C-alpha cells in the first residue's frame, strides 16, 4: 500500500520534469555551478528509476537503496563528463548505473567507459543546431523501440534492464544464442534506419 502511494507521488513530480530539455538544463547547472536545486530535480526523477533498474537486475532492497545512492552521487561527481550535445540525460544516468553494476557486482572496471566519455567531450562539439539534432536522436530511438515486435523488445529489456548476458537470455527464453544475437541486430538495425532517415 505504502509503495503504491509513493509511486503516485513520484508520478506527480515526474509530470513537471518529464521533458528532456529540462533534465538537460538541470544537468548542465549541476556541472557548471554545483546547483543543488537542479540536482534535487534530477534526483526526484532518476532515483526511483535507478533503484527500480537495480532491483530488476537482482539487487536486494537495501543494497538497491545503497547502490542508488552511489549512482546518484556519481551523477553529481562526474557531472562534467556529461556532454549535453551528445545524448539525453536518461542515457547518461543509465550508463552511470550500468557502470556501478559493473564496478560493484562484477568487480571489473568501468574506467574504459569513462575514458570514452572523455574522448567524446574532447572531439569537435556541437553547435545549437546539433543540440536540436541530439534531442531528435533520442526521440527517434524511443520511437523505434516503441515499434519493436515483442520478441525483440523483450531481449533488449532483459539485456539492458535485467542485466542478463546474451547466453543467460538464450537460456531463459530457450533460444539458440545465434537467435538472440540476430534479434538484437534486428532491433538495432531498426533504430539505425530511423536515425538515418533524419540525417
Please, which contacts does 176-182 make with residues 24 or more away whose CB atoms are closer than 8 Å?
A: 180/155
Q: Please state, as a whole number, how many other Cβ atoms lie within 10 Å of the Cβ of residue 52.
A: 13
Q: What is the footprint of another protein within residues 64-83 (CB under 8 A)?
A: 64-65, 68-69, 72-73, 76-81
For residues 50 and 58, give the distance between their C-alpha atoms in angstroms, rounded to a whole number.
13
Give backbone dihedrals phi and psi of 35, rounded to 5 degrees, phi first. -75, 115
Using the minimum distance from each CB to another protein, give the nearer residue, 6 or 174: 6
x-marked contacts with another protein along 17-46 as a string, rule CB under 8 A: --------------x--x-x---x--xx--
User: Judged by CB, which is closer to another protein: 131, or 142?
Assistant: 142
**Full DSSP string of 22-82:** HHHHHHHHHHHH--HHHHHHHHHHHHHHHHHHHHHTT--HHHHHHHHHHHHHHHHHTGGG-
**Residue 163 lies near another protein (rule: CB under 8 A):** yes
Q: How far is the CB of 147 from another protein (least distance, A)?
A: 12
Q: Which of 26, 29, 67, 88 binds another protein (CB under 8 A)?
A: 88
Nearest CA among 110, 89, 91, 112 for reference residue 101 = 110
Task: Check residue 97 for interaction with another protein (CB under 8 A).
Answer: yes
* Region of residue 194 (phi > 0: left; psi between -120 and 50: alpha; otherwise: beta): alpha
Q: Is 188 in the site for another protein (CB under 8 A)?
A: yes
Q: Is residue 6 a contact residue for another protein (CB under 8 A)?
A: yes
Q: Which residue, 78 or 172, is less far from another protein as judged by CB?
A: 78
Q: Is 152 in the site for another protein (CB under 8 A)?
A: no
Site membership for another protein, residue 138 (CB under 8 A): yes
Q: Does 98 bind another protein (CB under 8 A)?
A: yes
Amino acid at each position: 500500500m505504502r509503495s503504491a502511494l509513493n509511486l503516485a507521488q513520484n508520478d506527480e513530480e515526474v509530470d513537471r520534469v518529464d521533458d528532456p530539455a529540462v533534465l538537460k538544463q538541470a544537468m548542465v547547472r549541476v556541472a557548471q555551478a554545483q546547483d543543488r536545486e537542479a540536482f534535487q530535480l534530477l534526483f526526484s526523477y532518476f532515483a526511483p528509476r535507478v533503484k527500480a533498474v537495480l532491483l530488476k537486475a537482482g539487487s536486494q532492497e537495501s543494497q538497491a537503496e545503497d547502490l542508488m545512492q552511489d549512482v546518484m552521487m556519481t551523477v553529481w561527481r562526474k557531472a562534467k563528463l556529461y556532454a549535453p550535445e551528445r545524448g539525453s540525460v536518461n542515457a547518461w544516468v543509465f550508463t552511470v548505473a550500468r557502470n556501478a553494476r559493473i564496478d560493484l557486482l562484477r568487480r571489473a572496471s568501468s574506467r574504459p567507459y569513462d575514458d570514452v566519455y572523455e574522448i567524446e567531450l574532447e572531439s569537435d562539439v556541437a553547435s545549437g543546431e546539433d543540440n536540436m539534432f541530439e534531442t531528435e536522436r533520442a526521440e527517434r530511438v524511443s520511437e523505434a523501440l516503441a515499434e519493436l515486435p515483442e520478441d525483440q523488445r523483450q531481449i533488449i529489456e532483459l539485456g539492458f534492464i535485467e542485466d542478463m548476458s546474451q547466453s543467460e537470455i538464450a537460456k531463459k527464453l530457450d533460444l539458440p544464442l545465434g537467435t538472440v544475437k540476430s534479434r538484437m541486430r534486428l532491433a538495432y538495425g531498426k533504430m539505425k534506419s530511423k536515425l538515418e532517415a533524419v540525417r
